[in-house]
A = this chain, B = another copy of it.
Amino acid sequence: MYENLASEFGVVDTCAMMGGMPQPSAPRKTPGRPPRISREEILAAARRIVDEAGVDRLTMRRLAMEVGSTPMALYHHVRDKEELLVLLLDDHAARTLRRPELPAHPRERVVVAATAIHAALAACPWSVEVLTADDLLSTSALWFVEQIVDGLVECGLSPDRAVHGYRAIWYYTAGELVVRTAAARRRASDDRVTYREQVFADLDPGELPRLAQLADRWAPLTAEDTYQEGLRALVDGLLAGR
């Protein structure tokens, strides 16, 4: 089904996004023992584990059990665990990133493309793990990068500034995901919340007047989803006066 995902799409380090790996080598004419398990099988099993139990539970041993093999057999199909995670995100991107209708205005195109990437990554919370381990994005995402860079150029930025603009958008997007995920994890492990409230209540209005004034609204305000709002501000700023 997606056995030559890498060769079909090619894969690239966009220097700021998810990633993929080259296929190890072209299949020769049955030179030795026939394989019992395949990369796709491994990936499918890994996806199952991650979806059902979370990334933390994805271990080489458990994965081997899931595919009915031994841990070391996996290393014949995947270089190491890090590559497995990158492959997994690559796979996820290829199957969930659908190219949206693009608006006519280039500025809006930038917003739509960035939002689509953000939504795809926000949908799999473990993506942050991979992002921080290896900042690559599958070639499925290249089209979105193209739309962002092109939109910025169409709005009057030089190509160089457009690349920098794309990177700023990616920083903002990756940061939102990291903070969102960390907040979700904290919520899961309860506590701390009461502590935060306490400290906010104890703020010295003389030293930190704004924070003291906002103390009781801080929690709800920071719980709001403001990704698009901030994204639009960033894009506006990148294009200001041009």
Taking Cβ atoms with an 8 Å cutoff, the residues of A that contact B are: 10-13, 15-16, 22, 128, 131-136, 139, 142-143, 145-146, 149-150, 153, 159-160, 162-165, 167-168, 170-176, 178-179, 181-183, 185-186, 192-193, 195-196, 199-200, 202-203, 207-211, 213-214, 217-219, 221-222, 224, 226, 229-230, 232-238, 240
Contacts and interface: CB of A to CB of B under 8 A. Distances in A.
Q: Which of A185, A210, A211 has the most CB of B within 10 A?
A: A210
A202 B134 contact: no
A182 B129 CA distance: 11
Q: What is the oligomeric copy number? A: 2
B182 A221 contact: no
Given A175-B175, A235-B237, A164 B224 contact: yes
Contacts of A168: 172, 226, 229-230, 233-234
